[in-house]
């Protein structure tokens, strides 16, 4: 499409202006020089768009090598693996042991709460051997489509600047570099918009088909997002109904073109409903609704995984105001400078004298209005979605929550009008500056003045851009460093026919937070990952994978929202079987210990003792586990409450915990805790242990989390700490 000046036409005049006819078909040029110019322009556009893909691939590889703190990435990547194997869900008789994050459990099935369209796009790169190729390709496609739509609304020069504005947008850079659905859906929406515009301007059924397929897939991907984006285009299509046509142009042709878009778009909706019916059992129950029925659009009580809020209109407006402020000041190119350029671009290019509802033409002014209307439809529509509240964390803290790391990603589609009008605003200033300088100075002086202005402005804009990028890059870098420390053992560990029990700091989910430890679709392969859970679940998994080498992946550290590094370990495990197991535990007496207590417990039974021996060196204990009970033997122990019974009864599957607590001056405590999972069969006079036990050293509490995991060789324990366990099986 060649450059053209804006067309002007009365909003009440339905007769197309002379230059509103469809562009000449590709390949038809006035002369060789025009062909050469078109080829060079297309090549430059392709190279600039390819640069966008290179940048996104580099960020995805460098900033997110282990994926991000948004664990939805693992959901889409796991779903992509399923799709490549021809599956829509996991099927296993042990769903509790293998449930990935944000997967719905339905009987023996585990299926993701998200639609498969983004995952299918990510599967392309996965099939090529590097999933991040998909991220780069999606970014390239989005850049090309933004440029083409900008050229449709303005001209070629503006389209190049639009790519630069897109590439300079922190929201685009960060959220396009992770495996989340916003960039893929953005690409589909752009494809729809481009197809819609070309369908009208070129009177093309092929482009109409493209538009219909694209919006149908966008709806399948993220229904609400697609509806908000399509709203201005739907309004335009409706507004053309009944408008008088130029002489000789049949109404049936226009109607059929719109019908092609509608029918194919409806086919995408039908496909989504068919998927729902196949997966959830009802065409009108989406998987995300099956996962959390109150996690949807609208006001009122909302709930997701036990987190509940009353999402009132006033709260919605407040939350979205915060989101938009963050968008305008921290996630646009150069922050507030970019916002000013976008506002200037809208104000200088959107007018009322270039509007037409002629179904045979789509003037530049009409298209600009449609693009500007996206600000309204997307912004207003998002008020109804409580996700915009959840990404904030605390509304009074802009650096808190997911928005601090990924930006206002529910408003991702606003990047189209931002790129278009940001480019228009930048060129408006450039043209105004050039004309002003040229009108006041001779040519030589004018060049010098403009060059000086450029030298001054470039560092200012670059500094503003670096300022808005610094915080999200720093935020995400911290999480990457934690993941780097957490995955360190996997850099050298080679698994062969392994079953790995994975630590679960956020509850009984796989891939939350360890997204890289994903299972193969049929729960096979060199390593199978299972949730490290209750004894009955762990033994059930071991019973199903009897021929596998056993491991436990754990870590020492406090896994919270703050990205502090952790110390990980992969521990080989074994199942010991015998009629009795004699265990020896030796713990170091901590500095200044004044007293010690010993506690032995199983599910529902506890015996507790005071230690009456010398508190120096080590405290050694002997204890026994049989199919019926566990007991402790030590002459230096005095049972609290008296009595001779030193045993705790055991269930068929149980966890036996031995703990030793030292009390220091002032009441401070240090507790050694070891937990052994057992499976007993009194009829066969046998009991199985998973060995070694989980060992923790806890400060100020008797039972701590992963922050107390005992790892031999750590140098930050208090003086005196040591922890040795042994077992002899009969």
The secondary structure of 413-424 as a DSSP string is GGHHHHHHHHHH
pLDDT of residue 565 exceeding 50? yes
pLDDT top residue among 644 and 722: 722
CA separation for the pair 690, 673 (Å, rounded): 16
Domain match, 298 and 359 both = yes
- Tell how far CA 357 is from the center of its chain: 40
Q: Is residue 528 part of a domain?
A: yes
DSSP 398: T
pLDDT for the residue numbered 406:
96
Please say if the pLDDT value at position 4 is more than 60. Answer: no
pLDDT (0 to 100) of residue 250: 63
| Co-location of 546 and 592 in the same domain | no
Look at residue 190 in the predicted model and tell me its pLDDT.
98
Q: How confident is the model at residue 359 (pLDDT cuts 50, 70, 90)?
A: low
The whole-number pLDDT of residue 2 equals: 36
Residue 24 clears pLDDT 50, i.e. is over it: no
Contacts (Cβ under 8 Å, ≥6 apart) of 163? 45, 48, 49, 52, 143, 146, 147, 419
Do 398 and 332 reside in the same domain of the chain?
A: yes
Question: pLDDT digit string (tens) for 452-502?
Answer: 877 888 888 888 888 899 999 999 999 999 999 999 999 999 999 999 999
pLDDT in tens, 390-425: 999 887 776 788 999 999 999 999 999 999 999 999
Q: Which of 92, 111, 74, 235 is nearest to 545 (CA)?
A: 92
Which residues, including other chains, have CB under 8 Å from residue 421's CB and lie 6 or more apart?
341, 342, 343, 345, 346, 349, 371, 372
159 and 40 together in one domain: yes
In terms of average pLDDT, the best of 20-24, 172-176, 556-560 is 172-176
Residues 566, 679: one domain? no
Q: Rounded CA gap, 421 and 712, in Å?
A: 60
- Answer yes or no: is 470 within a domain: no
Digit-coded pLDDT (tens) for 9-19: 333 333 333 33
In this structure, what is the dihedral angle of CA atoms 123, 126, 132, 135, given to the nearest 10 degrees?
-20
Residue 354 — pLDDT band, cuts 50, 70, 90? low
Q: Are residues 254 and 283 in the same domain?
A: yes
Mean pLDDT of 71-96: 97
Q: Please give the pLDDT value at position 352.
A: 54
From the number of C-beta atoms within 10 Å of its C-beta (0-12, 13-18, 19+), residue 555 rates as: buried
Lowest mean pLDDT among 434-438, 578-582, 606-610, 721-725: 434-438
In this structure, are 238 and 308 located in the same domain?
yes
Q: Which of 39-53, 99-113, 299-313, 346-360 has the lowest mean pLDDT?
A: 346-360
189 dihedral zone (left: phi>0; alpha: psi -120 to 50; beta): alpha
Confidence of residue 323 (pLDDT cuts 50, 70, 90): very high
Report if residue 96 sits inside a domain: no
Q: How far apart are CA 609 and CA 615, in angstroms?
A: 15
SS (H, E, C) 19-55: HHCCCCCCCCCCCHHHHHHHHHHHHHHHHHHHHHHHH
Kindly state whether residues 410 and 502 are assigned to the same domain. Answer: no
Element holding 112 (H helix, E strand): strand 109-112
Whether the bond into 692 is cis, omega within 30 of 0: yes
* pLDDT (0 to 100) of residue 358: 61
Residues 509 and 630 in one domain: no
Task: Evaluate if residue 177 carries a pLDDT over 90.
Answer: yes
* Section 349-362 average pLDDT: 67
274 & 327 share domain: yes
Q: Is the pLDDT of residue 251 over 70?
A: no
* Containing structural domain, residue 608: 579-729
- Residue 393: per-residue pLDDT: 80
Among 378, 411, 440, the domain-final residue is 440
Considering the domain boundaries, does residue 77 fall inside one?
A: no
Is residue 87 in some structural domain? Answer: no
Question: What was the pLDDT predicted at 245?
Answer: 57
Q: Domain for residue 475, yes or no?
A: no
Mean pLDDT lowest among 83-87, 400-404, 440-444, 630-634? 440-444
Last residue of a domain, one of 575, 608, 639: 575
pLDDT at position 1, please?
A: 37
What's the mean pLDDT when you consider all of the chain? 90
Report the 10 Å Cβ neighbour count for 688: 23
Confidence of residue 360 (pLDDT cuts 50, 70, 90): low
> Tell me: the pLDDT tens digits for 253-262?
778 888 999 9
pLDDT score recorded for residue 355: 63
Most confidently predicted of 70-84, 605-619, 624-638: 70-84
Residues 402 and 266 occupy one common structural domain: yes
β-pairing verdict for 498-502 and 527-531 = parallel
Calculate the dihedral angle through the C-alpha atoms of 398, 402, 403, 408, rounding to the nearest 10 degrees.
Answer: -160
Strands (E), 286-393: 300-304, 307-311
Asked whether residue 686 falls in the same domain as residue 597, the answer is yes
- Domain-terminating residue out of 545, 575, 605: 575
pLDDT of residue 235: 93
Domain count, the chain: 3
Over range 670-691, report the average pLDDT: 94
104-118, 181-195, 594-608: range with lowest mean pLDDT: 594-608
The residue-averaged pLDDT of 227-248 equals 80
| Residue 13 resides in a domain | no
Q: What is the mean pLDDT of residues 429-439?
A: 86
Query: Does the model's pTM come out above 0.85?
Result: yes
pLDDT band at residue 379 using 50, 70 and 90 as cut-offs: very high
Q: Is residue 459 part of a domain?
A: no
How high is the pLDDT of residue 17? 39
């Amino acid at each position: 499409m060649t450059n053209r000046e804006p067309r002007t036409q009365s909003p009440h005049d339905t007769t197309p202006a002379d230059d509103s006819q469809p562009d000449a078909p590709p390949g038809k040029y006035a002369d060789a020089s025009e062909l050469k110019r078109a080829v060079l322009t297309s090549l430059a556009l392709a190279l600039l768009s390819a640069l966008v893909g290179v940048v996104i691939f580099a960020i995805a590889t460098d900033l997110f090598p282990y994926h991000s703190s948004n664990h939805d990435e693992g959901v889409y990547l796991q779903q992509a693996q399923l799709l490549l194997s021809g599956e829509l869900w996991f099927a296993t008789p042990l769903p509790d042991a293998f449930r990935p994050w944000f997967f719905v459990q339905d009987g023996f099935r585990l299926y993701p709460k998200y639609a498969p369209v983004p995952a299918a796009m990510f599967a392309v790169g996965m099939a090529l051997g590097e999933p991040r190729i998909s991220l780069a390709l999606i970014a390239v496609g989005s850049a090309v489509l933004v440029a083409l739509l900008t050229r449709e609304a303005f001209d070629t020069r503006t389209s190049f600047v639009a790519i630069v504005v897109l590439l300079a947008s922190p929201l685009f850079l960060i959220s396009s570099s992770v495996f989340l659905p916003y960039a893929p859906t953005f690409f589909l929406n752009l494809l729809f918009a481009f197809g819609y515009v070309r369908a009208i301007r070129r009177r093309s059924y092929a482009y109409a088909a493209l538009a219909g397929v694209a919006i149908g897939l966008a709806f399948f991907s993220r229904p609400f997002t697609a509806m908000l984006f399509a709203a201005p285009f739907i309004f335009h299509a409706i507004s053309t109904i009944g408008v008088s046509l130029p002489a000789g142009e049949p109404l049936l042709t226009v109607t059929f073109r719109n019908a092609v878009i509608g029918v194919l778009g409806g086919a995408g909706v039908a496909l989504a409903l068919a998927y729902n019916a196949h997966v959830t059992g009802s065409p009108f129950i989406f998987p995300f609704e099956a996962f959390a029925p109150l996690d949807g659009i609208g006001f009122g009580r909302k709930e997701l995984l036990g987190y509940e809020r009353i999402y009132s209109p006033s709260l919605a407006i407040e939350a979205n105001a915060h989101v938009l402020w963050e968008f305008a000041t921290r996630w646009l190119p150069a922050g507030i400078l970019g916002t000013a350029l976008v506002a200037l671009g809208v104000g200088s290019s959107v007018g009322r004298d270039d509007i037409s509802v002629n179904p045979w033409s789509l003037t530049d002014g009409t298209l600009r209005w449609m693009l500007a209307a996206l600000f309204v439809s997307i912004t207003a529509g998002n008020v109804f979605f409580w996700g915009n509240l959840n990404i904030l964390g605390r509304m009074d803290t802009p650096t808190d929550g997911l928005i601090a790391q990924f930006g206002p990603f529910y408003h991702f589609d606003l990047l189209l009008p931002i790129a278009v009008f940001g480019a228009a605003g930048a060129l408006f200033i450039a043209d105004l500056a050039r004309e002003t300088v040229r009108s006041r100075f001779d040519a030589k002086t004018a060049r010098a003045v403009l060059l000086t202005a450029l030298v001054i402005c470039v560092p200012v804009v670059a500094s503003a851009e670096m300022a808005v990028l610094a915080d999200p890059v720093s935020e995400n870098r911290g999480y990457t460093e934690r993941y780097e420390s957490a995955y360190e053992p996997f850099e050298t560990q080679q698994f062969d026919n392994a079953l790995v029990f994975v630590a679960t700091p956020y509850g009984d989910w796989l891939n939350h937070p360890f997204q890289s430890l994903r299972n193969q679709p049929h729960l096979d392969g060199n390593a199978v990952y299972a949730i490290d859970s209750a004894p009955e679940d762990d033994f059930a998994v071991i019973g199903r994978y009897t021929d596998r080498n056993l491991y436990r992946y754990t870590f020492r550290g406090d896994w919270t929202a703050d990205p502090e590094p952790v110390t990980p370990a992969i521990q080989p495990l074994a199942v010991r079987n015998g009629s009795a197991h004699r265990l020896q535990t030796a713990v170091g007496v901590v500095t200044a210990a004044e007293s010690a207590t010993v506690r032995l417990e199983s599910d529902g039974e506890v015996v507790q003792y005071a230690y009456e021996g010398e508190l120096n060196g080590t405290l050694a204990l002997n204890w026994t586990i049989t199919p019926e009970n566990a007991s402790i033997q030590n002459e230096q122990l005095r049972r609290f409450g008296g009595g001779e019974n030193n045993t705790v009864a055991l269930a068929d599957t149980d966890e036996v915990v031995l703990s030793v607590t030292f009390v220091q001056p002032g009441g401070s405590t240090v507790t050694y805790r070891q937990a052994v999972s057992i499976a007993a069969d009194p009829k066969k006079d046998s009991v199985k242990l998973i060995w070694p036990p989980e060992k923790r050293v806890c400060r100020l509490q008797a039972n701590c989390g992963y922050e107390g995991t005992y790892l031999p060789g750590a140098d930050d324990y208090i003086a005196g700490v040591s922890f040795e366990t042994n077992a002899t099986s009969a």
